Amino acid sequence: MDFISLHRRHVEELSGRVARVLDECGITALTVHSGTPQKRTAADDQYWPLRPTPHFQHWLPLAEPGCLLVIVPGKKPVLVRPPVQSFWEALAPPESDHFWGSFDVVEAVPELPPGRTAFVGDDLSAAAGLPVTDVNPPALLRALDGLRVHKTPYEVACLAEANRRAALGHEELRRLFQGGERSELELHLAFLGATRQDDVDTPYKNIVALGKHAATLHHVSYAKRAAPAQSLLVDAAASFAGYCADVTRTWVKGGGAAGSAFAQLVAGVEAMQQRLCAAIEVGMQYEQLHDESHRQVGGILREVGISRLSSEELVARGVTRAFYPHGLGHSLGLQCHDVGCALRPPRSENPFLRNTTEIAPGQVFTIEPGIYFIEALLAPLRSSPDVDWKLVDALASFGGVRIEDDVVVQDRGIRNLTREVLPQGGGPA
C-alpha cells in the first residue's frame, strides 16, 4: 500500500483512539503545538533545528515551528499553519507530500467548541494566546503516550523505510573499514553521505567507535586521525517521516590470538541476538527476555574462556552486569527511546532497562545485547580468580561488541525490520 493510503488509515485510527482518550479525560477538543526552536545559548542568536513535539508528529511529519493541530472528535483535523515571516532562513520542505490530504489547512486558529480544550506542547508561551482550559494535563499526556506503544501499519512502514536508509550507511562503513585505515570522523561523515543526512537529521548522534573506543557506550567524540584498529562498532541510523531507526553493527578484521577470540565473541553475540529475537512471544514480559540475555551473556563469557564459572554463577555474582551494563532494548518510534513502555520501573538489578511492558502485537522495540571491556566496571572484580584477566586485557583493545535490530511484534513472532535490509549483525568485515 502507498504512503498516502497508509497515512489516511493511520489518521482514521488515531482519530478514533484519541477521541476515546479525550472522552475519558473529559476534554472536548485537543490542540497540539509543533514546537518552537530552542536557542543554543542565551548569549547569542543561534538556534537548534526544530525537533517537533512528538505528539504533533504522531499525526503528521511536518517539522515547522509555530503550527497547531486542532482535533475535535467527529471532525476532520485542522492544521493551523501560519504564513512564514522570516527572510533570514527558509524552512526545508517536507520530504514527502503523502499527509496533506488528511487535514484542513488554515492560517488562523478556528473557533473551538464550548467545553474544555487541552493544549499539548513544549512551548508553554504558545498556549498563552489560545482559548485553552488545560495545559499539558498529566492524565491526558499519559494516555497519549500510551497510544504510541501500538504502531499502525503506516508507522511500521515509516520505520521500515528508516531501516532501509540506515542499512546503506552500515554497508558503506563495513566496506570502508575492511578496505583500510580510516578515522572515526571520516567514517561518521561517510555514514551521513551514504544515508543522505545532515548531522542534525539523524535520529540520534552517530556512535562510531574504532578499537577500544567501543567500550564507551555512547562514543561520539570521534578521533580525527586514522589509526590501526581491528574492530569497528557503529550505532547509527536514519529516520523517515519522524520515525527513528536504531541499528548497531560490530565488525572485526585482522588475525592474531586476541583477534580470533574477539571474532568468537562477536559470533557469540550475533547468535545470541538472533536466539533472543526468535524467543519473543506475545504475553511475555520484556524484562524476562532481558534476564534471559544475561544468562546467555554468561554462556558466551564461558565459551570464549573469559571465565570457567557457569552462566548461572556469572549472573548471580554480578559478573555479567560488569560486561553488559545496559538494557536489552527499548521502545522505538517517534523518539529513539520511545514512550509508553516503561510504566513501571525495572527491578533494582536492571537499573538501565527502558522497557518493562508485557510484549503485545504492534509494539516496536530494539533487541541490542552487548559485551564490553569497561575498566571502571571491571575494576571491582579484578581480585576475582574466576576471570581470565590476561584474556580480558588482550580483548580490551577491541572495546566491545553490540548488535541491535528493530523488531515489530506480530500476533505470532516478530518482523525484524533491520535484518530485512541488513542480514548480518556483525562478524568479519
Among 64, 134, 246, 270, binds Mn ion (CB under 5 A): 246
Closest CB to Mn ion among residues 47, 352: 352
Alpha-carbon distance of 292 to 151, in angstroms, equals: 26
Closest contact distance (angstroms) between CB of 237 and Mn ion is 9
Q: Which residue is nearest to Mn ion (CB)?
A: 246
Number of residues that bind Mn ion (CB under 5 A): 2
Closest CB to Mn ion among residues 320, 366: 366
Closest CB to Mn ion among residues 72, 272: 272
For Mn ion, what does the binding mask look like between residues 171 and 210, x meaning CB under 5 A? Answer: ----------------------------------------
Closest contact distance (angstroms) between CB of 427 and Mn ion is 20
270 binds Mn ion (CB under 5 A): no
Closest contact distance (angstroms) between CB of 148 and Mn ion is 17
Among 117, 250, 366, 418, binds Mn ion (CB under 5 A): 366
Closest CB to Mn ion among residues 246, 287: 246
Closest contact distance (angstroms) between CB of 366 and Mn ion is 4
Closest CB to Mn ion among residues 196, 218: 218
Closest CB to Mn ion among residues 163, 366: 366
Give the range of 102-110, 197-205, 246-254, 263-271 binding Mn ion by CB under 5 A: 246-254
Closest CB to Mn ion among residues 31, 366: 366
Closest contact distance (angstroms) between CB of 183 and Mn ion is 24
3-state SS, one letter per residue, for the chain: CCHHHHHHHHHHHHHHHHHHHHHHHCCCEEEEECCCCCECCCCCCCECCCCCCHHHHCCCCCCCCCCEEEECCCCCCEEECCCCCCCCCCCCCCCCCCCHHHCEEECCCCCCCCCCEEEECCCHHHHHCCCCCEECCHHHHHHHHHHCCCCCHHHHHHHHHHHHHHHHHHHHHHHHHHHCCCCHHHHHHHHHHHHCCCHHHCCCCCEEEEHHHHHCCCCCCCCCCCCCCCEEEEECCCEECCEECCCEEEEECCCHHHHHHHHHHHHHHHHHHHHHHHHCCCCCEHHHHHHHHHHHHHHHHHHHCCECCCHHHHHHCCHHHHHCCCCCCCECCCCCCCCCCCCCCCCCCCCCCCCCCECCCCCEEEECCEEECCHHHHHHHCCCCCECHHHHHHHHHHCEEECEEEEEECCCCEEECCCCCCCCCEEEC
Closest CB to Mn ion among residues 197, 230: 197
Closest contact distance (angstroms) between CB of 246 and Mn ion is 4
Give the range of 226-234, 241-249, 291-299, 375-383 binding Mn ion by CB under 5 A: 241-249
Closest contact distance (angstroms) between CB of 11 and Mn ion is 28
Give the range of 74-82, 273-281, 364-372, 415-423 binding Mn ion by CB under 5 A: 364-372
Closest contact distance (angstroms) between CB of 167 and Mn ion is 16
Closest contact distance (angstroms) between CB of 45 and Mn ion is 34
The closest of 170, 47, 65, 43 to 424, measured between CA atoms, is 170
- Residues of this chain that interact with Mn ion (CB under 5 A) are 246, 366
